[in-house]
Amino acid sequence: MVTLSVSLQMRILWTLVMGTLFVLLVQYQTSSVWPQQQAQMNSRVDPFAEDLVAIALSKVEIGDDTTVSKEMLLGITRQIARYVVYSSGCSVSPISGPPPITLYIITPTYRRPEQVADLTRMAQTLMLVRDIHWLVIEDAKSKSPQLNALLQSFGIKFTHLIAPMPSRYKNTRGAKPKGVANRNRALNWIRENANEGVAYFADDDNTYDVRLFNEIRDTQRVSMWPVGLCTKTGLSTPIVRNGSLIGFYDGWIANRKFPVDMAGFAFSVNFLKKRPHAKMPYKPGYEEDGFLRSLSPFEPREIELKADNCTKILVWHTQTKKNEPSLKVNVEKYNNTNILELKKIIV
Ligand code: UDP
Ligand code: MN
């Protein structure tokens, strides 16, 4: 029998109560707030409820002096979540299923005025998703300690890597192959460190619906889905007729075999590892197409269609307005004020 301190017991109790409340809240939402989309996605309420319980648990601090692990607590609350969902009539098994599949979220990033804001928004979406490993690859020659501290603060499992854009591309006047060195670095990391799972190129300035992540988790080879706010068509998506892919809708086809957006596809780690030469080319405008072609043998007919046969938009290519770097601060005038602290955060 494990003995726990009173304060730890209180925290566990609090967590269990909060977890249960979260589950009830989710049930309330799924029953009334998102009637259209949720109707078809009802069978997937369970992982979402678990996500919320996991968030509640991530707030619990457990010292090294106890034998209770977060895993154990998560197990308990998972069972509660399953029981509540099950008893409400949803078709969810109360018994644990196969081990969860890890999603490797590959995010290139670089220092600029919008960086912290963009990453904060993205991280707080990822906090709602279970079983993810966030690969954040900085376009820089050395790791930024500030970025590392920011990533730590979110409580998401992450790996901070670096991959500078080669100077021959950085100094060009024309279009740059943005995020290519970063993504290739992540592909190599996955080859060396991951055994199975699903990988997704998720830029730091897009808007993600949390439901996207569970949608793509069962990708066997390569899955695709629509991306909103993309090119002059406002949309980049596979074209689907009678459940089958018949082409691609995108404002920029340009002879591409796979005219899709970076945020519009995911691939399985196994599939990637069987293609040791797959990589992204330094070719502005052709990064997605080049990468997907490099996955050969792979043909459009093999694409797994997601988001209810590509009828939902679960990711948006929002982009963030570019800001000028902030003005210099007069350090004498603002000596001993918060301004100097704040200036360390902004660019
Ligand atoms: N990026 C980078 N280095 C750069 C420019 C961009 O690492 O010099 C990253 C950026 O943070 C983003 C991805 O590459 O995650 C794509 O860049 P951006 O969002 O600017 O491209 P766009 O939205 O125009 O396709
Ligand atoms: Mn972008």
pLDDT at 118 over 80: yes
Confirm if 45 and 86 have CB atoms less than 8 A apart.
no
Which of 110, 230, 261 is the pocket-test mutation for ligand 1 (most atoms within 8 Å of CB)?
110
What are the backbone angles phi and psi of residue 110, rounded to the nearest 5°? -155, 155
d(CA 315, CA 225): 9
Half-sphere exposure of 249 (CA within 13 A, CB side): 18
Q: In this structure, which ligand is nearest to the CA of 109?
A: 1
d(CA 82, CA 154): 26
Q: What average pLDDT does this structure show over 318-340?
A: 98
Distance 242 CA to ligand 2 centre (A): 32
Distance 278 CA to ligand 2 centre (A): 23
pLDDT at 39 over 80: no
The residue nearest atom 17 of ligand 1, judged by CA position, is 178
d(CA 284, CA 175): 6
CB atoms < 10 A from the CB of 164, how many? 15
Least reliable range by pLDDT among 73-77, 145-149, 277-281 = 73-77
Does 120 or 39 have the greater pLDDT score?
120
Write down all domains in the chain, each with its CATH number in brackets: 6-84 (no CATH), 103-316 (3.90.550.10)
205 lines ligand 1 (CB under 6 A): yes
Q: pLDDT grade, residue 57 (50/70/90)?
A: low
Distance 108 CA to ligand 1 centre (A): 7
The single-letter code of the amino acid at 54 is A
- Residue percentage of the chain with pLDDT more than 90: 71
Secondary structure E strands in 250-329: 265-268, 304-305, 315-316
pLDDT at 281 over 80: yes
Question: Buried (b) or exposed (e) across 246-268, using 16+ Cβ within 10 A?
Answer: eebbbeeeeebebbbbbbbbbbb
Which letter does DSSP use for residue 287 in this model? H
What's the pTM?
A: 0.78
112 lines ligand 1 (CB under 6 A): no
Does 297 or 21 have the greater pLDDT score?
297
- State the pLDDT at residue 315: 98
pLDDT at 156 over 60: yes
Q: What average pLDDT does this structure show over 45-66?
A: 62
d(CA 43, CA 23): 15
pLDDT at 41 over 50: no
The candidate with the shortest Cα–Cα distance to 201, out of 272, 277, 307, is 272
Q: In this structure, which ligand is nearest to the CA of 147?
A: 1
The pLDDT mean for the chain works out to 86
What are 240-279's pLDDT values in tens digits? 999 999 999 999 999 999 999 999 999 999 999 999 999 9
Distance 267 CA to ligand 1 centre (A): 20
- State the pLDDT at residue 100: 87
165 lines ligand 1 (CB under 6 A): yes
- State the pLDDT at residue 19: 67
The residue nearest atom 22 of ligand 1, judged by CA position, is 319
The residue nearest atom 6 of ligand 1, judged by CA position, is 178
Q: What is the set of active-site residues? A: 288
- State the pLDDT at residue 11: 72
Confirm if 241 and 271 have CB atoms less than 8 A apart.
no
Secondary structure E strands in 88-183: 103-109, 132-138, 158-162
The dihedral formed by the CA atoms of 271, 272, 278 and 283, expressed in degrees to the nearest 10: 100
The residue nearest atom 14 of ligand 1, judged by CA position, is 179
Distance 213 CA to ligand 2 centre (A): 19
Least reliable range by pLDDT among 82-91, 143-152, 196-205 = 82-91
Distance 116 CA to ligand 1 centre (A): 14
236 lines ligand 1 (CB under 6 A): no
Q: What average pLDDT does this structure show over 62-69?
A: 64
For the CA of 205, the closest atom of ligand 1 is 19
What is the number of helices (H) and of strands (E) in the chain?
A: 13, 12
What are 195-251's pLDDT values in tens digits? 999 999 999 999 999 999 999 999 999 999 999 999 999 999 999 999 999 999 999
177 lines ligand 1 (CB under 6 A): no
Question: Buried (b) or exposed (e) across 27-59, using 16+ Cβ within 10 A?
Answer: beebeeeeeeebeebeebbbbbbbbbbbbbbee
Distance 176 CA to ligand 2 centre (A): 13
- State the pLDDT at residue 108: 99
Which of 178, 229, 260 is the pocket-test mutation for ligand 1 (most atoms within 8 Å of CB)?
178
Tokens of 191: 């080859």
319 lines ligand 1 (CB under 6 A): yes
Q: In this structure, which ligand is nearest to the CA of 178?
A: 1
For the CA of 138, the closest atom of ligand 1 is 7
